């Protein structure tokens, strides 16, 4: 990654804060984000040999740890961001609708994880809470319909 790219990612991530919540640490908007705007740029800090509850799946056999703030963005079954692969080998978190200042930033873990081990009991509190995350493998059509382009690139190659 070039210095200019690093500076751009840091500058973009400067419009969020990390705060303690009842669910642990979370990421919050410090300004309003418009639909389609990149909210957080997630940059890989290392590859890991197998999935963990903190890793991000980039391909069927590739797992990475992303930097903060990406690693502390909480799951929601009704998130306000979707994921898009980025130039750094990680994910950008893109506003699915307008996000207000002080709103928690969330994403749906099943949009990157083919089989998810991260959430055995969901605490998102949304009206459409699924109870736990299973992974893209088990909810493929629902996730494709809901998030369209905002799922991991490697999952887009799966047959419909």
Structure tokens at 60: 């069927």
Q: Within a 10 A sphere around the Cβ of 106, how many other Cβ atoms?
A: 22
Structure tokens at 57: 């799946």
Domain count, the chain: 1
CATH of the domain at 10: 2.170.270.10
Across the chain, mean pLDDT equals 91
Q: What is the reported pLDDT for 1? A: 44
Q: What is the reported pLDDT for 38? A: 96
Q: What average pLDDT does this structure show over 135-145? A: 95
Q: How far apart are the first and last CA of the chain?
A: 34
Q: What average pLDDT does this structure show over 44-68? A: 96
Q: What average pLDDT does this structure show over 73-93? A: 97
Q: Is the pLDDT of residue 68 over 90?
A: yes
Full domain range(s) for residue 47 = 3-156
């Amino acid at each position: 990654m070039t210095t200019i790219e690093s500076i751009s990612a840091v500058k973009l991530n400067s419009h969020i804060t990390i705060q303690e919540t009842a669910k642990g640490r979370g990421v919050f908007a410090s300004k309003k984000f418009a639909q389609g705007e990149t909210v957080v740029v997630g940059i890989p800090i290392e590859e890991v040999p197998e999935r963990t509850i903190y890793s991000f799946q980039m391909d069927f056999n590739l797992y990475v740890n992303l930097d903060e703030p990406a690693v502390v963005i909480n799951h929601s079954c009704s998130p306000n961001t979707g994921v898009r692969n980025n130039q750094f080998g990680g994910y950008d978190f893109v506003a699915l609708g307008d996000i207000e200042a002080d709103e928690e930033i969330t994403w749906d873990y099943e949009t990157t994880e083919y089989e998810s081990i991260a959430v055995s009991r969901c605490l998102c509190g949304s009206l459409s809470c699924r109870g736990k995350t299973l992974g893209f493998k088990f909810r493929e059509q629902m996730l494709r319909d809901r998030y369209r382009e905002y799922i991991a690139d490697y999952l887009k190659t799966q047959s419909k």
